[in-house]
Structure 1
């Protein structure tokens, strides 16, 4: 089977018919999802077996937890549990603290967990229409057991594709590993970025040209698929321009004046990130999805945006958003060599350093557009990140585009 690089160039054009179909799909899904959520609230169903999918943590029962956590230990049972706290964003999160019977204690079953559910219409539409509602679930069910990296363990994940109701039961690393969640307001030293790149190399090498990523009916979308979803469902181009203006304190005028060239280069970079040897991608490996354990190990969380494509997509997204500009400029060539060496050891087939550098420098365009879009949100869009956390990432990615000549790199 030839690599995608041998195929015809990928088209990023969206016809009026395709846009109309996408609009019709959105309206249809809005109606059906709203109906499902209304029925769930009016007629809640008991949650007892592993086949049941709770709407939220409040619906969880000890019987259900026993079914999903104790299935390999016949005598183990969950006796009781607490919900110590929660939060709501693109998903609804709640902590769980479990008490087992003696058999469960003897089996060392997990006691500190948290759940992620899609409880509201908005959450289901955001994740479902973006094509990411199944990504994290499939990651924890199919990929996480195969890789040894610093990331939470998953214990149960499921989705109902008709209603887009979903749940993931994960390790609560804030308790089990003393994790502190990080963002762009935290400085990353050389060891921290090497931790992240080492884990990406392990992930990419383990899944290099794996059947999960190469087969035509793979459950994983590509970066080009993400681009096409963006173009048919949201006006990212317009909102990115607005975002660059709102962030003009950190975006050079020379870059803001190249908005059209930037967008077309971004389209080409997403196609480029889809071609060539494929591997499994975190897909959202930015600084806001990182954490540090009490032992000083840095890792990635939040696996909703998983993709299949070029390793360079993840590596550029990581280095561009995690590192301060001066640190990136000083370290990035060495760090790229560090990553490539570990990729080879993990089973990947990396290109030579100079060829890898050309692939890497083309991929600063996605972090720039995704974060200018975030800060350029419209009045009806949710505020996904505070401006003070967006601005450093926009500044870093804008500097990387200029430093790397990213527009020319994809021409």
Structure 2
């Protein structure tokens, strides 16, 4: 641990490390208390490693296994609040890694999940952070940013779609009392097909660096109201609306989303640090945002249809929010306007 902390706390020597909390799920996570025999450093650190069993298989199949360690190891600046990385060790042959990182609760961070939604003002903070991140990498490629040449461009794959399609029916069944008729009446093929169309539509916008999994469960609120983002395992290159729609819809109650979403989308677009001619128009931005509900709906119905991946109350709350947005924002009609002739494979 002394070696891990040396880059940020030179001269410090760790005297004792004690396990405070361990949580093995999608990944293996642990919080450790740290005391020092010389110098000073953080009282706690957070460690993350690759998951086991079916979690590892899914991350391998989805291309997500090494995204977070590669991102932190790259040194690429991330102009949105996120945990500082002290040390990254990657073992590709063993399909494993470990990241020693900041425990953001040491800064008073309040990690959130769907059972504790944000206020519209907090969501506005998060959107301004995403705008800084997206602006920094707007239009980037492996040539403009060689340190990020490994980042995959968002694309729908049959491996991802097949996993969704398998679990969505169970998710619909479990959420039957919370989902609108327009969602309950659709087959898994239809819902995953709309997810597919949305992911493919991301190629129409200038690519940027996406967090890729910016739902509320990967966020925290700081004492000053700013919002940070955890778990960069699904980092991708693609259109901005995937981060914005996924974060905004899932982080607010349905009532707050209805009342504030138009202003919040405008807040994000206005915060982009881009020349006027490169900034998406309000009309185009609203259309892309409307279409984005197809992504969260399929993902959280699938998650609701699994056991042991997320708490049931969390999955239910998010399926309800994305389902309501899907209907109220007329997401399918928005997709038709984005890609009116899109066809997608639906069979394994």
TM-score above 0.5, yes or no? yes
Q: Which of the numbers 397, 400, 406 marks the counterpart of 2:322?
A: 397
2:183 is aligned with 1:255: yes
2:20 is aligned with 1:84: yes
Aligned to 1:230: 160
Per-residue CA deviation, residues 358-405 of structure 1 (Å, 9 max, x unaligned), is 11111111110011101112xxxx421122111121111111111121
- Separation in 2, partners of 1:75, 1:187: 41
Q: How many residues align?
A: 334
Q: Secondary structure at the match of 2:15?
A: strand
Q: How does 1:237-316 map to 2 (within 5 A)?
A: 237-259=165-187, 260-316=189-245
Aligned to 1:409: 334
Q: Secondary structure at the match of 2:87?
A: strand
Q: Give, in angstroms, the shift of residue 236 of structure 1.
A: 1.6
Structure with larger RCO (C-alpha < 8 A, sep 6+):
2
Q: Which of the numbers 88, 95, 98 marks the counterpart of 1:167?
A: 98
Q: Give, in angstroms, the shift of residue 354 of structure 1.
A: 0.2
Aligned to 1:322: 251
The structure whose residues are more often helix, as a share, is 1
Gaps of 5+ in 1: 1-64
- Separation in 1, partners of 2:143, 2:285: 21
The structure whose residues are more often strand, as a share, is 2
- Separation in 1, partners of 2:37, 2:292: 51
Gaps of 5+ in 2: 337-348
Q: How does 1:40-59 map to 2 (within 5 A)?
A: none
Q: Which has the larger radius of gyration?
A: 1
**TM-score, length-normalised on structure 1?**
0.74
2:82 is aligned with 1:151: yes
- Separation in 2, partners of 1:358, 1:364: 11
Q: Give, in angstroms, the shift of residue 322 of structure 1.
A: 0.9
Q: Secondary structure at the match of 1:168?
A: strand
2:61 is aligned with 1:129: yes
Aligned to 1:34: none
Q: Give, in angstroms, the shift of residue 213 of structure 1.
A: 8.6
- Separation in 2, partners of 1:123, 1:241: 20
Is the Cα contact below 8 Å between 1:213 and 1:308 reproduced in 2? no
- Separation in 2, partners of 1:119, 1:317: 24
Change (3 A) 1:74 1:298: closer
Per-residue CA deviation, residues 301-357 of structure 1 (Å, 9 max, x unaligned), is 111111110001110101111111121111111111110111135999321100111
Is the Cα contact below 8 Å between 2:22 and 2:30 reproduced in 1? yes
Is the Cα contact below 8 Å between 2:205 and 2:240 reproduced in 1? no
Is the Cα contact below 8 Å between 1:343 and 1:349 reproduced in 2? no
Change (3 A) 1:75 1:314: closer
Change (3 A) 1:154 1:347: farther
Aligned to 2:46: 114
- Separation in 2, partners of 1:214, 1:272: 23
Is the Cα contact below 8 Å between 2:152 and 2:237 reproduced in 1? yes
